[in-house]
Chains A and B, each alone.
Chain A
Amino acid sequence: ADGRDGPALAAAPGRAQVFSTVVDTFLEKLVAAGSYQRFVSCYRCFYKLQPQLTRSIYDQFVSQLQASIKEEIQEVKNEGNLEGLFSLLDKIVEEAKDREEPAWRPSGVPARDVRSALVPFLLRHRAHLRRALQERQERSSSLAEAVLAGRDSIAELQQLIQARQQAWQ
């Protein structure tokens, strides 16, 4: 994929681009080191016998080596979904660019690190409990009112009955 953006964005190359470039550079320099001259100087006896074959053997060696290496890199990229991860990481890094302080890192003690992950759940639970408690308290309070009213009306009835009793004395 072409990692170059339009002229408006003079962005630093993304990780994927750097990765490709670095691998290509490695190959280039390796092949440069293992030059034909070097090859010939090691296989001088064979070269004297078969100069043209030596050339073609060398060419095949180089192209095969490059192909294998590139294939391996591609496999690693595919297996690990590196292209996707690289662009995601680029984005994450870009979003954090204005931030200077070092970010949180795992402490190595899972019990400690899991605390903050649990907090949002606990807070939600707390809000739920507070709501539930309030509802229950409102219910109890209206029930209590009804109970008191009931006691009053029972007392009233008792008084009426007493009055009747008196009247019949």
Chain B
Amino acid sequence: MSVNPMTYEAQFFGFTPQTCMLRVYIAFQDYLFEMMLVVEGVMLKKLDAIPGCKISPSKIRKCTEKFLLFMKEHFDKLFSKMEEVLLQLVLNIPKNVLLPEDKVQEQYPYSEEEFQALQDELQQLQQQCRAEAVLEQELRAELEEQKAVKAELEKILQCFDGLENICREHGAGNFKESFAFLTQSSKKLQDVLKDVEEKSKKMNQHDQLM
């Protein structure tokens, strides 16, 4: 017969029922012995006060032992019956009963695999968050760069607009055209110069060959 350790009851009561019963048994037994000693003491004292008494203390002791033995026998039998009832009906938690503090056990019966999967999911989510944070940083950095670049470009544009305004102010709408004409002409001159250079080169070569 296996001994029921009653650990669930111990979780609830804060003590093991069997331990409690043992404590009570020992206390009761002590009281019984104590009372018997008191009884004996009273009798001995009385006998002391009677002169010529034929009853010796050892005789009284034998009486006490007799009574005590009898009492102890009944005491043990009765106590063990009481203990049985208490352990079965009072200091016990029926098998179908779940203590409120353990509610989660039935709400979330996760197996080891399910638990691991949940933890893995959490790790993955954390990694994703970190990755998003890195991405966010990079995007913000590019935005800063863009701001700077845009500012530069807009400055250049402003320069051009400035030039045009000057042209307009000085009533030389043609300034642009003449400037463009100038640039083209200088280009044409450059082309002509190049031509001339080439031709003279050729002539020199021809002369040398002659």
Docked Cα-Cα span, A11 to B74, in Å, equals 33
* Closest beta carbon of chain B to A120's beta carbon, Å: 6
- For residue B94, which residues in chain A have a CB less than 8 angstroms away from its CB? 93, 96
Q: A129's closest neighbor in chain B, by CB? A: B125
- For residue A49, which residues in chain B have a CB less than 8 angstroms away from its CB? 47, 50, 53, 55
Q: A132's closest neighbor in chain B, by CB? A: B129
* Closest beta carbon of chain A to B147's beta carbon, Å: 8
- For residue A69, which residues in chain B have a CB less than 8 angstroms away from its CB? 28, 31
Docked Cα-Cα span, A34 to B68, in Å, equals 9
- For residue A122, which residues in chain B have a CB less than 8 angstroms away from its CB? 118-119, 122
* Closest beta carbon of chain A to B75's beta carbon, Å: 6
Which residue among A68, A80, A130 has the maximum number of chain B CB atoms within 10 Å of its CB? Answer: A68
Docked Cα-Cα span, A103 to B94, in Å, equals 9
Verify B121–A147 contact, CB threshold 8 A. no
Q: Which B residues from 42 to 100 make CB contacts under 8 A with A?
A: 42-43, 46-47, 50, 53, 55, 59-60, 63-64, 66-67, 70-71, 74-75, 78-79, 81-82, 85-86, 89-90, 93-100
Say whether A78 faces chain B, with CB atoms less than 8 Å apart.
no
Verify A126–B125 contact, CB threshold 8 A. yes
Verify A15–B8 contact, CB threshold 8 A. no
Say whether B193 faces chain A, with CB atoms less than 8 Å apart.
no
Q: A143's closest neighbor in chain B, by CB? A: B139
Verify B43–A43 contact, CB threshold 8 A. yes
Docked Cα-Cα span, A80 to B176, in Å, equals 104
Verify B67–A38 contact, CB threshold 8 A. yes
Verify A33–B153 contact, CB threshold 8 A. no
* Closest beta carbon of chain B to A42's beta carbon, Å: 4
Which residue among B97, B133, B147 has the maximum number of chain A CB atoms within 10 Å of its CB? Answer: B97
Docked Cα-Cα span, A45 to B71, in Å, equals 19
Docked Cα-Cα span, A140 to B15, in Å, equals 58
Verify B157–A160 contact, CB threshold 8 A. yes
- For residue A18, which residues in chain B have a CB less than 8 angstroms away from its CB? 85, 89-90
Known: A15-B90, A102-B96, A129-B122. A50 touches B46 (CB 8 A): yes
A-B Cβ contacts below 8 A, count: 221
Verify B125–A45 contact, CB threshold 8 A. no
Say whether A5 faces chain B, with CB atoms less than 8 Å apart.
no
Q: Which residues of B contact A (CB under 8 A)?
A: 7-8, 11-15, 20, 23-24, 27-28, 31-32, 34-36, 38-39, 42-43, 46-47, 50, 53, 55, 59-60, 63-64, 66-67, 70-71, 74-75, 78-79, 81-82, 85-86, 89-90, 93-100, 102, 104-110, 112, 115, 118-119, 121-122, 125-126, 128-129, 132-133, 135-136, 139-140, 142-143, 146-147, 149-150, 153-154, 156-157, 160, 163, 176, 179-180, 183-184
Additional 18 contacts, C-beta under 8 A, given A33-B74, A76-B23, A116-B110: A15-B89, A33-B78, A42-B63, A46-B63, A53-B46, A89-B93, A92-B100, A96-B97, A103-B96, A119-B104, A126-B121, A136-B136, A139-B132, A146-B139, A154-B146, A154-B150, A161-B156, A168-B179
Q: Which residues of A contact B (CB under 8 A)?
A: 15, 18-19, 22-23, 25-26, 29-30, 33-34, 38-39, 42-46, 49-50, 53, 57, 61, 64-65, 68-69, 72-73, 76, 80, 82, 85-86, 89, 92-93, 96, 99-106, 112-113, 115-120, 122-123, 125-126, 129-130, 132-133, 136-137, 139-140, 143-144, 146-147, 150-151, 153-154, 157-158, 160-161, 164, 167-169
Give the 3 A-B CB pairs with smallest separation, nearest first. Answer: A103-B98, A119-B108, A136-B132
